[in-house]
Chain A
Amino acid sequence: MNTIAYIVQKEFKQIFRNKGMLPIIFILPILQLVILSNAATYEVKNIKFAYVDQDHSSTSRALVDRFNASSYFNVMTTFPSHEKASSAMLLGNVDVVLEIPKHFERDFIKEKASRLGITINAIDGAAAGVESGYINQIVQNFNKDLKVTYVGLSNKTPKPVNILSIPSFWYNITLDYKTFMVPGILVLLVSMITLFLSGMNIVREKEIGTLEQMNVTPIRKSQFIIGKLFPFWVIGMGLLTIGLILAKLIFDVPMVGSLLLLYGYTSIYILVILGMGLFISNFTDTQQQAMFIAWFFVVIFILMSGLFTPIESMPEWAQLLTEFNPIKYFVEIMRMVMLKGSGFSDILPLALKTLAYAIVMNGLAVWSYKKTA
C-alpha cells in the first residue's frame, strides 16, 4: 500500500513538473469546451439565396418576400435566366436558387397547381437537407395562404380536416443546440485527455529506460499499474468538475439529474479509458506511436459516438460497432442525466455495460503488460 502511495506521489510530482504538459491538461480542454460549444452548431444560417422570376406577378413577388422575411435566408440577387443562376452557384456565390416559371400565378388560379424549381448546392449534404427543410416550410405556408386567397372562398367542396401538428421539444424546449452539445463535448475532454495521458505515460518510462529499472525491483505488476494510472483517474475527475462548472457558468446548461450519479458513472467510465491507455502503451515503444494509435481510436470513437451524427441514422453494421464505443455510452448518459434527470435505475443497463467493458479492458491490459519485456 505504501508503495502504491509513493508511486502516485511520484507521478503527481512528475506531472506538475512537466511545464509543457500542464497547459495541455488544463487549459486546452477549457478552450476546446468554450470554442467547440459555440462553434459546433446544427443550425444553418445566412443561406445565400437567389431567384429567377420569370412570372413577374404579385404572387411571385409575395413568395420572394417570404424568403426575404426569413432570418435564415439572405436574399441576394435575382438572375435573368437559369443559366446565369447556375454559373453563380458553380462559383459558390449562391447556395439556393428558386425558379419561378412563367404563368406561375395564372396556372395556380386556373389549374389549382403550379410548379417551382429549387436548386440547392448539396456539397455539404447535411446543410442541404436543413436548407431543403426550411424552403419546404416557407413554400407550404405560402401555399396555404394562397389557397385561402384564391381557392378557399370559391371552393364549395368540403374542406379536408386540417391536421395541425404542434411539436413540443422535451428536455430542450428552445432547441438550444448548446444544451445538446456541451455535455457531449465535456465527454470528449474527459476521454481524450485521460486516454492520451495514460497511453503515453508508461511508454515514456519505456523510452527513458526507467521501466527496465523498475522491472528489476521487487515491485508488483498491480502496484505499478495502479500507481501509474490512479493520478490520471484523478485528473479525469478533475476535468469533469471543471467542465461542469464551465457548462453551468458560461452556457447555463441545465443540470436536472443527480451530480453524484454523474460522478459515480464517470468513475467507472474513466477505468475503461485508462485500461485502453495501458493497453496501447503495452504495444508501443515510443510516445509517438502511442499518440498516433490513441488518436486513431479517439477520432473513430468521437465520430461514432452520436455526438455529431445520430447513431440511429448509421448503417446497421456501424450501429453494431458503436456498441464497443465507450464514448457513446458516456455521451448518452451525460445527456440523460444532465438534461432529462435520469435516475440510477435508468442508467443502470448502460452503467453495467460500461463496468463490464472496464473489467474486460483492464483485464486485457494487465494480461498484456508483461513484466519481463
Chain B
Amino acid sequence: MGIRVTDISKSYKNVKALKGITFDVKEGELFGLIGPDGAGKTTLFRILTTLLFSDEGEATVAGYDVVLDYKDIRQSVGYMPGKFSLYQDLTVEENLNFFATIFGTTIEENYDLIKDIYIQIEPFKKRRAGQLSGGMKQKLALSCALIHKPKVLFLDEPTTGVDPVSRKEFWEMLKRLQKKGITILVSTPYMDEAALCDRIALIQDGGILEIDTPESIVHKFPKALYNIGANNMYQLIRSLNNYEHLYSVYPFGEFVHYADKRPAFNIADLAQYLDAQGLKSFSIEPTKPTIEDTFMELAKK
C-alpha cells in the first residue's frame, strides 16, 4: 500500500529520462532514491505526484493509480519539490494556513503531526517566507507538505543546499515522521544520507542499478578496499591508474579508495611500487566499502 512502480518509462523529445523502472516501497518505509543529477529522480517524482504522465508502465501510490485515481492521490500525498516553491510574499503562518485551507483542513486539526517541525519556525510566523533562511524555508515547506496528514510523503532532494547541521536535523525529523506511519520516498545526491534510509534504490541514467538495504548494498562491493593517502594526491592517483593490478581507484576525501584485481593482494607490493614512483609518506590501510564505492562500482558496468 505504499508505492508500487511497474515498468515506468518516460522520454522527453530525444532524451530517455526513465527506462522501465520497477520497484516497491512498503507502507511506512523510508525509501531513498540515490543518484547523480540528471538520473531521472525528479521525473519519477513528477509521475508519482500526478504532475506528469508516463509513456509506459503503471504506478500506484497509497493504493491509487497515478492516472485513474489522480484526485485521490492529490488528497493523500505530500510533495516537497527540490526548489522552494511556497509564496515568498506571504508570511509563514499565511502559507501554512493557505495550504491547510486548500486541503480542506486547519492547522489545529493536524497540529500534532507538524508540531515538532513547526515549533522551530513558530517564532517567525509573522515573517514573510522569502526572508527565511534556507533551513527554515525547508522546515516550512515540510510543514506545508504535511498539513493535510498525507499517507505518502515525496521529498525531492530536500537537503540540497542545506547546511550539515540542518541536514542532520532534517533526517531526524524524517525518522520521527516515519514512526507515525507515513511512507516516505526521498531522493538525494548525497551518498552519506543513503545510509539513513530503510532501503535505497541506486539510480543512474534513468535505470535502477540496485535496490536493497544500505547494509546489503555495501556488501555488494566485490573486492577488498584500501584507504591510501600520500603527500601528492594527483601523482598518487596517476600512479595507481598505471598500476597493472589496479581494479578501481576513486578519490575519497583526503584519501583514495583502491581495489586490487588479485585475490591475494599484498600491501607491501603496492608500497614498493608507490615508493618507486617517488611518492612519500604514504599510508595504505584496509577499509570498509561505503555506498558511494558500491555506486561507482555499479555505475561502471
Contacts and interface: CB of A to CB of B under 8 A. Distances in A.
B64 interface: no
Nearest to A223: B102
A222 B299 CA distance: 46
Contacts of A18: 89
B94 A212 contact: no
B50 A219 contact: no
A209 B85 contact: yes
B90 A213 contact: no
Interface string B48-67: 01111100000000000000
B44 interface: no
Interface string A214-257: 11111100000000000000000000000000000000000000
B50 A372 contact: yes
Interface string B74-106: 110101010111111110001000110111100
B102 A217 contact: yes
A6 interface: yes
Contacts of B104: 3, 218
Contacts of B89: 13-14, 17-18
B71 interface: yes
A215 B53 CA distance: 14
Contacts of A219: 102
Given A13-B90, A208-B85, A218 B50 contact: no
B74 A3 contact: no
B90 A208 contact: no
A210 interface: yes
Interface in A1-40: 2-3, 6, 10, 13-14, 17-18
Nearest to A2: B101
A13 B53 contact: no
Interface string B225-262: 00000000000000000000000000000000000000
A210 to B, nearest CB: 5
Nearest to B79: A216
Nearest to B154: A216
Interface string A137-156: 00000000000000000000
Nearest to B75: A218
B85 A210 contact: yes
Contacts of A214: 102
Contacts of A373: 51
Interface residues of B, number: 28
Contacts of B101: 2-3, 6
A17 B90 CA distance: 9
B81 A212 contact: yes
Given A216-B50, A372-B50, A209 B99 contact: no
A209 B59 CA distance: 24
Main secondary structure of the interface of A (DSSP, over half): helix
A217 B94 CA distance: 17
A6 B103 CA distance: 12
Interface in B4-55: 49-53
A188 B78 CA distance: 44
Contact of B51 (A2, A13, A210, A212): A212
A181 B255 CA distance: 79
Interface residues of A, number: 21
Interface in A199-217: 208-210, 212-217
B98 A213 contact: no
Given A3-B102, A6-B98, A372-B50, A213 B86 contact: yes
Contacts of A208: 85, 87-88
A213 B74 contact: no
Given A13-B90, A209-B85, A218 B74 contact: yes
A373 B49 CA distance: 12
Contacts of A10: 87, 90, 94, 98
A192 B12 CA distance: 37
Nearest to A227: B102
Given A3-B102, A372-B50, A210 B87 contact: yes
A213 B85 contact: yes
Contacts of A210: 85-87
B51 to A, nearest CB: 6
B53 A372 contact: yes
Most chain A Cβ neighbours within 10 Å, of B50, B86, B99, B102: B102
A214 B102 CA distance: 9
Given A216-B74, A218-B74, A372 B51 contact: yes
Contacts of B102: 3, 6, 214, 217-219
Contact of A213 (B50, B71, B79): B79
Most chain A Cβ neighbours within 10 Å, of B51, B52, B77, B90: B51
Contacts of A213: 79, 81, 85-86
A216 B51 contact: yes
A327 B210 CA distance: 62
A24 B81 CA distance: 33
A165 to B, nearest CB: 63
Interface string B127-141: 010000000000000
Contacts of A215: 50-51
A212 B51 CA distance: 7
Interface of A: 2-3, 6, 10, 13-14, 17-18, 208-210, 212-219, 372-373
16 contacts: A6-B98, A6-B101, A10-B87, A14-B89, A17-B89, A209-B85, A210-B85, A213-B85, A213-B86, A216-B49, A216-B74, A216-B79, A217-B74, A372-B51, A372-B70, A373-B51
Given A17-B89, A212-B51, 13 more contacts: A3-B101, A3-B102, A10-B87, A13-B94, A14-B90, A17-B128, A208-B88, A215-B51, A216-B50, A216-B51, A218-B74, A218-B102, A372-B50
